[in-house]
């Protein structure tokens, strides 16, 4: 597995964390290349479905970042988001997703060095957790054994 | 318990005669032992269909969304809490409802009784405060009532309706010493891999019929996420990842809205304990936000509000 | 036709022999309920069951059936072309199926195997499957097979009918396939007259126990429109929560949905169970939904089984009286009661 590099989907809010990523870039700060950024208008825009979709597509980790509380461009979007995230993270862990795979942060558009720092931490934590094994969607297999559902055949393969 | 039957009929007759409501939602005697059927009574001459016993577990709040008329509804503790959530979520207006509150001592778990009978068919059921006597061809078995209650009733802490226009009996004593989260903690104590396996086994029998979703009074989205196709968030086959995604998101949609009425488990044709997902959320909502679902009409649901000092230890 | 007797002690040997020649499926206890599963060993078979929770229809019409695969790779010259996935034609034997559930396959045949189209997925599985039925000597109270044209020992849709006697099983071949199966059964004993008489007695006794809660003949004679617009639907539909349990458990509900699932640059076309209880089932591309109301969907289920099917195919009704929907409907909508109302529907002159 020496070739394996973690794939991390980062949902960054347009007004703060995405700006921080931008600033980190123009400031030539180094951070790992394992992050794929998806820009969202606000951390409040993150539907839990997005995070699950990332895992289902095989992401090894997901990182969500928005404005600091009180600094939301939409005044309170991140406050609502914070409650959703708390429950989502807890339920994912409760049902067997490694806590090292899901990360949240508040990073303002001026905090380029925090962005680079958190990016490094996120990547290293996910690297420790290893390649994702759960919640990955694959195409249904041909039902080769009659009477046994596809699900069971896959369950045996796993 | 059966004393309620007369009181329900009396109230229904009166409300219909006074034209206070267009109809009364209650239960009528089922066609099988241990089953009753929800019924909508519109005329005084149908009032005598209404009954009450330990087989009225169906959550009648299910029949209230998108109504235009004014109805009376018979409500146990859990039903009343779901009614509160419906009002908070603008599914029905308070003045459309006349709530006939029923202090409840728990509903019978038909599946558990059938399991205990081990293939013997129940023909007659008699209930008293303490016992349930089930008899059939050549057998009679007495169950202590508390042993054959629905799982959620065993740990219920809101047996008395939280909202009503008329209470049809004296309030019952609430259960004080119940541990609502014993099973949640047991799962929490497992390793993360064990938890994954636990839930994998839990949902393995799922046939994706969505009965749990459809039975839930709180599930009323015009288009459910499982039916969305652009993009398709979850596949519809029996693929374990899809089944997991469905159960996970269904439960998550219940965060801060589920009253643990048990409708989902009652409906599941495969006996899956789907409350294991929602109970964790209930526990978290209580611990993180100090909120109990459907108790205070004036409060906003927990995900519809926030406090500046909400917990955020998990955020960097 | 050949009849043999096998003692209970010798049954595992017979099952073992059958397992040599084909995949044998039978009722296996999983949790509280029984389900038809491929037997890994003869001892997994549990013939003491009353009936399986899920009907065995998924053996021929699985919940999720991958029919085609396709590629979306840009440089693939065959991109976007549906390629049929292979269909196995291995012999399968279903052991211990109830006569009612076997009859259900017959009823569904008319939908999948018509003069103009023969569904290859249904046909291949159907033809490769031998049905060894187990007569129902302990019918449930919610069974009503005799009211819908079948019965606890109905052999019409079976290849072999088994009857449980005190000390063993009487196996009676019904078709050539069944006869071939019994011909070299190990440790078979003669089906003596005494045993045959006993079996007949058991069958009669079982049929007597089954209630006949309605008669279907009057429904046949009524115009569709009269039943369609009958007032009782309003009352019938109230309790329904459109959960779909009835249709998922039903042995004769065949409705399906076809979905494409795409993952990266590959995709499959799936056939999946669907249900007339769901609004999405009838939603048109235009946005119009002819069965938008719960009443329309509830009515459809009963009308389809007891009126449309009967009118269209001159057979039926499309119900075998297994009673699963009666037992598992969470709100106790009882098909026996509904059909009795259809049969008697008060709008007709008496």
DSSP string, C93-156: EEEEE-HHHHHHHHHHHHHHB-SS-B-HHHHHHHHTEEEEEE--SS--TT--GGGGT--TT--T
Q: C229 and C104 in one domain?
A: no
Let me know if residue C10 belongs to a domain.
Answer: yes
> Residue A66: helix, strand or coil by DSSP?
strand
Interface of A with B in 86-125 (CB under 8 A): 86-99, 103-106, 118, 121
Q: Is the pLDDT of residue A154 over 80?
A: no
As a whole number of angstroms, the distance between CA C299 and CA C326 comes to 16
Q: Is the pLDDT of residue C184 over 90?
A: no
As a whole number of angstroms, the distance between CA B18 and CA C212 comes to 42
> Residue B315: helix, strand or coil by DSSP?
strand
CB contacts, 8 Å: B36 with chain C: 332
Q: Which of A53, A96, A149 sits opposite B196 (nearest CB)?
A: A96
> Can you say whether residue A155 is alpha, beta or left, with left for phi > 0 and alpha for psi between -120 and 50 degrees?
alpha
As a whole number of angstroms, the distance between CA C141 and CA C163 comes to 20
Q: C126 and C102 in one domain?
A: yes
Q: C245 and C119 in one domain?
A: no
As a whole number of angstroms, the distance between CA C107 and CA C319 comes to 8
Given strand A61-66, what is the order of strands in its sheet? A35-40, A8-13, A61-66, A102-106
Residues A146, C66: C-beta atoms closer than 8 Å? no
On whether the CB atoms of residues B200 and A100 are closer than 8 A, the answer is no
Per-residue confidence (pLDDT) for residue B35, from 0 to 100: 95
Q: C234 and C197 in one domain?
A: no
Per-residue pLDDT band for A120 (boundaries 50, 70, 90) equals: very high
| Two structure tokens written together for A105 | 């942060």
Q: C131 and C252 in one domain?
A: no
For chain C, the first-to-last Cα distance in angstroms comes to 47
Q: Is the pLDDT of residue C196 over 80?
A: yes
For chain B, the first-to-last Cα distance in angstroms comes to 54
* Cross-strand pairs, C267: C70, C262
Q: Of C173, C193, C209, which residue is a domain's last? A: C209
Q: Of C209, C231, C247, which residue is a domain's last? A: C209
| Two structure tokens written together for B119 | 């293939």
Per-residue confidence (pLDDT) for residue B230, from 0 to 100: 83
Q: Is the pLDDT of residue C295 over 70?
A: yes
Q: Which tens digits make up the pLDDT trace of C269-280?
A: 999 999 999 999
Measured over the CA atoms of residue C280, residue C283, residue C288 and residue C290, the dihedral's sign is negative
Q: Provide DSSP, C145-205.
A: GGGGT--TT--TT-SEEEEE-SSEEEEEE-SHHHHHHHHT-TT-EE--HHHHHHHHHHHHH
Let me know if residue C67 belongs to a domain.
Answer: no
Q: Is the pLDDT of residue C348 over 60?
A: no
* Cross-strand pairs, C7: C168
- The average pLDDT across A107-133 equals 96
> Residue C37: helix, strand or coil by DSSP?
strand
* Closest chain A residue to C56, measured at CA: A147
> How far apart, in Å, are the Cα atoms of A38 and each of A14, A42, A73, B133?
10, 11, 18, 61
| Residue B256 to chain C, least CA–CA distance (Å) | 23
The H-assigned helical ranges of chain A are: 17-26, 48-56, 77-94, 112-129, 150-157
> Residue C285: helix, strand or coil by DSSP?
coil
- The average pLDDT across A12-34 equals 95
Q: C254 and C179 in one domain?
A: no
Residue with tokens 């989902």: B264
As a whole number of angstroms, the distance between CA A9 and CA A33 comes to 11
Let me know if residue C69 belongs to a domain.
Answer: no
Per-residue confidence (pLDDT) for residue C321, from 0 to 100: 95
A8-157, CATH topology level? Rossmann fold (3.40.50)
| Two structure tokens written together for C165 | 């006697």
The DSSP element (H or E) to which C324 belongs, if any, is: helix C324-328
As a whole number of angstroms, the distance between CA C311 and CA C128 comes to 30
Per-residue confidence (pLDDT) for residue A1, from 0 to 100: 54
Per-residue confidence (pLDDT) for residue C346, from 0 to 100: 53
Query: What values do phi and psi take at B146, rounded to 5?
Result: -65, -20
Residues in chain C whose Cβ is within 8 Å of chain B: 30-33, 50, 53-54, 63-64, 66, 140-142, 235, 238-239, 241-245, 248-249, 257, 259, 261, 270, 272-273, 275, 278, 280, 326-328, 330-334, 336-337
Q: Is the pLDDT of residue A151 over 70?
A: no
Q: Which of A137, A145, A147 sits opposite C36 (nearest CB)?
A: A147
| Two structure tokens written together for B65 | 């969304």
Per-residue confidence (pLDDT) for residue C3, from 0 to 100: 92
Number of H helices and E strands in chain A, helices first, is 5, 4
Q: C241 and C159 in one domain?
A: no
Let me know if residue C68 belongs to a domain.
Answer: no
Per-residue pLDDT band for A150 (boundaries 50, 70, 90) equals: very low
| Two structure tokens written together for C168 | 């063993």
CB contacts, 8 Å: B210 with chain C: 243-244, 278
CB contacts, 8 Å: C337 with chain B: 31
Q: C148 and C28 in one domain?
A: yes
Instruction: Work out the angle between the directed axes of helices B192-203 and A77-94 (0-180°, nearest 10).
Output: 80
As a whole number of angstroms, the distance between CA A155 and CA B239 comes to 9
- The average pLDDT across A134-155 equals 58
Q: Is the pLDDT of residue A148 over 60?
A: no
Residues in chain B whose Cβ is within 8 Å of chain C: 30-32, 35-40, 58, 62-63, 111, 115, 119, 121, 123, 205, 207-211, 214-215, 227, 232, 235-239, 263, 266-267, 269-271
Q: C168 and C43 in one domain?
A: yes
Residue with tokens 């409907």: C329
* Closest chain A residue to C84, measured at CA: A142
Per-residue confidence (pLDDT) for residue C344, from 0 to 100: 87
Q: C226 and C249 in one domain?
A: yes
Residues C259, B210: C-beta atoms closer than 8 Å? no
As a whole number of angstroms, the distance between CA C83 and CA B258 comes to 45
Given strand C23-30, what is the order of strands in its sheet? C33-38, C23-30, C92-97, C129-134, C160-164, C168-173, C3-7, C189-190
As a whole number of angstroms, the distance between CA A86 and CA A48 comes to 11
- The average pLDDT across C205-233 equals 92
Residues A142, C266: C-beta atoms closer than 8 Å? no
* Closest chain A residue to B199, measured at CA: A95
Q: C291 and C246 in one domain?
A: yes
Query: What values do phi and psi take at C21, rounded to 5?
Result: -95, -15
Let me know if residue C337 belongs to a domain.
Answer: yes
| Two structure tokens written together for C254 | 């065949």
Per-residue confidence (pLDDT) for residue C86, from 0 to 100: 82
A22 touches chain B (CB under 8 A): no
DSSP C28: E
Let me know if residue C349 belongs to a domain.
Answer: no
Q: Of C209, C239, C255, which residue is a domain's last? A: C209
Domain span at C334: 217-344
Residues C64, B266: C-beta atoms closer than 8 Å? no
Q: C254 and C113 in one domain?
A: no
Helix, strand, coil percent content, chain A, rounded in steps of 5 = 45, 15, 40
Q: Is the pLDDT of residue A121 over 90?
A: yes
On whether the CB atoms of residues C136 and C206 are closer than 8 A, the answer is yes
Given strand C256-263, what is the order of strands in its sheet? C83-84, C64-71, C266-273, C256-263
> Residue B252: helix, strand or coil by DSSP?
helix
Per-residue confidence (pLDDT) for residue C87, from 0 to 100: 77
DSSP A77: H
Q: Is the pLDDT of residue A144 over 70?
A: no
* Closest chain A residue to B191, measured at CA: A96
Give the total number of structural domains in chain C: 2
C260 touches chain A (CB under 8 A): no
Query: What values do phi and psi take at C107, rounded to 5?
Result: -65, -35
On whether the CB atoms of residues C61 and C98 are closer than 8 A, the answer is no
CA B185 to chain CA centroid, Å, is 22
From first to last of its 316 residues, chain B has per-residue pLDDT tens of 578 999 999 999 999 999 999 999 999 999 999 999 999 999 999 999 999 999 999 999 999 998 999 999 999 999 999 999 999 999 999 999 999 999 999 999 999 999 999 889 999 999 998 999 999 999 999 999 999 999 999 999 999 999 999 999 999 999 999 999 999 999 999 999 999 999 999 999 999 999 999 999 999 998 899 998 888 899 998 999 999 999 999 999 999 999 999 999 999 999 999 999 999 999 999 999 999 999 999 999 999 999 999 999 999 9
Per-residue confidence (pLDDT) for residue A141, from 0 to 100: 66
Cβ-based neighbour number of residue C290 at 10 Å: 10
Q: Which tens digits make up the pLDDT trace of A28-76?
A: 999 999 999 999 999 999 999 999 999 999 999 999 999 999 999 999 9
Exposed (0-12), middle (13-18) or buried (19+): which is A28, by Cβ within 10 Å? Answer: exposed
**pLDDT, chain A, mean:** 89
A145 touches chain B (CB under 8 A): no
As a whole number of angstroms, the distance between CA C137 and CA C170 comes to 13
On whether the CB atoms of residues B244 and B199 are closer than 8 A, the answer is yes
Query: What values do phi and psi take at B73, rounded to 5?
Result: -135, 135
Let me know if residue C135 belongs to a domain.
Answer: yes
Let me know if residue C61 belongs to a domain.
Answer: no
As a whole number of angstroms, the distance between CA B68 and CA B53 comes to 29
Task: Give the length of chain B.
Answer: 316
- The average pLDDT across C115-130 equals 93
């Amino acid at each position: 597995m020496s070739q394996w590099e973690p794939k991390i989907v980062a949902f960054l809010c347009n007004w703060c964390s995405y700006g921080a990523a931008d600033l980190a870039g123009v400031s030539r700060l180094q951070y790992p290349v394992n992050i794929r950024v998806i820009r969202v208008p606000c951390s409040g825009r993150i539907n839990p479905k997005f995070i699950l979709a990332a895992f289902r597509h095989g992401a090894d980790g997901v990182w969500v970042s928005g404005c600091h509380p009180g600094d939301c461009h939409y005044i309170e979007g991140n406050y609502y988001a914070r409650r959703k995230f708390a429950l989502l993270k807890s339920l994912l862990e409760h049902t067997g997703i490694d806590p090292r795979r899901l990360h949240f942060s508040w990073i303002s558009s001026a905090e380029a060095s925090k962005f680079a720092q958190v990016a490094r931490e996120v990547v290293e934590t996910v690297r420790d957790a290893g390649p994702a094994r759960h919640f990955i969607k694959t195409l249904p297999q041909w039902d080769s054994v009659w009477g046994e559902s596809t699900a069971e055949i896959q369950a045996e393969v796993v | 318990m059966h004393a309620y039957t007369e009181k329900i009929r009396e109230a229904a007759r009166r409300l219909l005669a006074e034209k206070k409501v267009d109809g009364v939602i209650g239960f009528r005697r089922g066609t099988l032992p241990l089953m009753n059927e929800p019924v909508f009574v519109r005329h005084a001459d149908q009032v005598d269909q209404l009954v009450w016993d330990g087989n009225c577990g169906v959550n009648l709040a299910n029949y209230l969304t998108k109504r235009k008329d004014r109805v009376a509804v018979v409500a146990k503790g859990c039903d009343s809490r779901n009614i509160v959530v419906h009002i908070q979520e603008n599914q029905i207006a308070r003045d459309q409802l006349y709530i006939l509150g029923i202090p409840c001592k728990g509903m019978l778990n038909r599946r558990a009784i059938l399991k205990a009978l081990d293939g013997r068919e129940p023909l007659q059921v008699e209930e008293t405060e303490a016992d349930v006597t089930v008899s059939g061809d050549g057998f009679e078995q007495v169950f202590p009532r508390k042993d054959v209650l629905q799982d959620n009733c065993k740990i219920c802490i809101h047996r008395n309706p939280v909202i009503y226009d008329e209470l049809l009996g004296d309030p019952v004593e609430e259960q004080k010493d119940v541990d609502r989260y014993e099973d949640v903690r047991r799962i929490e104590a497992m390793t993360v891999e064990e938890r994954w396996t636990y839930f994998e086994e839990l949902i393995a029998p799922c046939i994706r019929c969505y009965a749990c979703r459809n039975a839930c009074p709180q599930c009323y989205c015009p288009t459910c996420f499982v039916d969305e196709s652009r993009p398709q968030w979850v596949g519809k086959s029996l693929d374990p990842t899809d089944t997991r995604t469905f159960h996970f998101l269904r439960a998550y949609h219940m965060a801060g809205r589920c009253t643990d009425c048990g409708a989902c488990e009652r409906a599941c044709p495969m006996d899956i304990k789907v409350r294991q997902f929602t109970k964790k959320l209930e526990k978290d909502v209580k611990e993180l936000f100090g909120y109990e679902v459907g108790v205070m009409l004036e409060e906003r649901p927990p995900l519809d509000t926030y406090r500046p000092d909400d917990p955020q230890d998990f955020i960097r | 036709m050949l009849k043999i007797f096998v003692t209970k002690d010798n049954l595992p040997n017979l099952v073992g022999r059958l397992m040599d020649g084909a995949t044998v499926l039978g009722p296996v206890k999983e949790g509280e309920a029984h389900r038809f599963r491929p037997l890994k060993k003869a001892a997994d078979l549990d013939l003491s069951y009353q009936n399986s929770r899920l009907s065995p229809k998924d053996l021929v019409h699985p919940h999720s059936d991958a029919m085609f695969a396709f590629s979306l790779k840009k440089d693939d010259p065959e991109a976007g072309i549906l390629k049929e996935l292979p269909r196995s034609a291995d012999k399968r034997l279903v052991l211990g199926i109830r006569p009612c559930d076997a009859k259900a396959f017959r009823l569904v045949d008319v939908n999948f195997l018509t003069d103009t189209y023969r569904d290859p997925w249904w046909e291949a599985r159907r033809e490769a499957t031998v049905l060894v039925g187990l007569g129902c000597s302990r019918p449930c109270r919610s069974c009503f097979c005799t009211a819908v044209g079948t019965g606890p020992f109905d052999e019409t849709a079976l290849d072999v009918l088994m009857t449980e006697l005190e000390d063993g099983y009487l196996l009676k071949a019904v078709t050539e396939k069944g006869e071939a199966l019994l011909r070299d059964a190990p440790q078979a004993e003669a089906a003596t007259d005494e045993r045959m008489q006993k079996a007949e007695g058991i069958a009669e006794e079982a049929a007597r126990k089954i209630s006949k809660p309605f008669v279907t003949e009057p429904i046949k004679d009524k115009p569709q429109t009269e039943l369609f617009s009958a007032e009782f639907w309003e009352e019938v539909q109230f309790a329904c929560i459109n959960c779909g349990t009835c249709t998922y458990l039903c042995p004769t509900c065949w409705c399906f949905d076809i979905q494409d699932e795409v993952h990266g640059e590959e995709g499959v076309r799936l056939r999946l169970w669907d249900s007339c209880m769901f609004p999405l089932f009838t939603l048109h591309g235009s946005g119009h939904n002819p069965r938008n109301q719960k009443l329309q969907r509830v009515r459809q289920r009963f009308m389809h089984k007891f009126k449309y099917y009967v009118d269209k195919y001159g057979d039926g009704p499309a119900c075998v009286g297994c009673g699963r929907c009666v037992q598992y409907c969470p709100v106790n909508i009882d098909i026996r009661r509904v059909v009795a109302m259809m049969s008697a529907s008060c709008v007709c002159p008496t």
